[in-house]
Amino acid sequence: MAKRAASANRRTDIVNAAIEVFAEIGYYRATTAQVAERAEISQPYVFRFFNKETLMVAALEVSFQRIQQAFERTIQSAGKEHLEAGLIRDYEGIMERHRNEILLQMQAQTIQEEPIREAMRKGMAEIHHIVLRAFEEAGIEQPQWRTENFMARGLLCNLTMALDLPQLMKKDLG
């Protein structure tokens, strides 16, 4: 049992290292050797769990799970009048504390390998579904449009963060 837990911890360490390496130097330039070095393990140990492509998919899954979990917590606790503002605060917090995960997602939007594209489609679709369901259940008018606007603003937030152009976004939530 302890061996399985240690193995899971190492797997998490590898994915976390990959998030950093891919975000810093890009998926195509990064190597599993660099990920192994960042995780302070051997490259063959990385290959026990991942190849480069499956490592990127796992990193994307972690990044989307973080957003999903934050949104689900807010949906459970926020009333209708504070729902959208709460989701925005969640996302802003993730962008601040987990910048590399957002940069990773931005990169992945341009990667053509099908497993990576599928991870992006799945992650974005799940976020869309969570927000749409929450807006519908809260009785928010035009939930589909509001969800699309919310998602588009999130992508614009990503761009403003990556380019350090905060003037592209208004802070006014109303």
Give the model confidence (pLDDT) of 19-41 as tens digits: 999 999 999 999 999 999 999 99
Residue type, 91: Y
pLDDT at 5: 57
Task: Give the C-alpha separation, 136 to 163, whole Å.
Answer: 33
pLDDT digits (tens, 9 = 90+) for 126-149: 999 999 999 999 999 999 999 999
pLDDT bucket at 2, cuts 50 / 70 / 90? low
Residue 6 has pLDDT above 80, yes or no: no
Instruction: Note the maximum CA span of the chain.
Output: 54
Q: Let me know if 57 is exposed, middle or buried by CB neighbors in 10 A (0-12, 13-18, 19+).
A: buried
As a whole-number percent, the residues of the chain with pLDDT over 70 amount to 93
pLDDT at 173: 43
Region 95-104 average pLDDT: 95
CB 43 within 8 A of CB 32: yes
CATH architecture of structural domain 51-167 = Orthogonal Bundle (1.10)
Region 115-120 average pLDDT: 98
pLDDT at 78: 82
- State both tokens at 116: 């990576």
DSSP state of 4: H
Task: Give the C-alpha separation, 44 to 110, whole Å.
Answer: 28
Half-sphere CA count of 107, side-chain side, radius 13 A:
23
How confident is the prediction for the chain on average, in pLDDT? 92
Domain ranges for the chain, please list them: 51-167
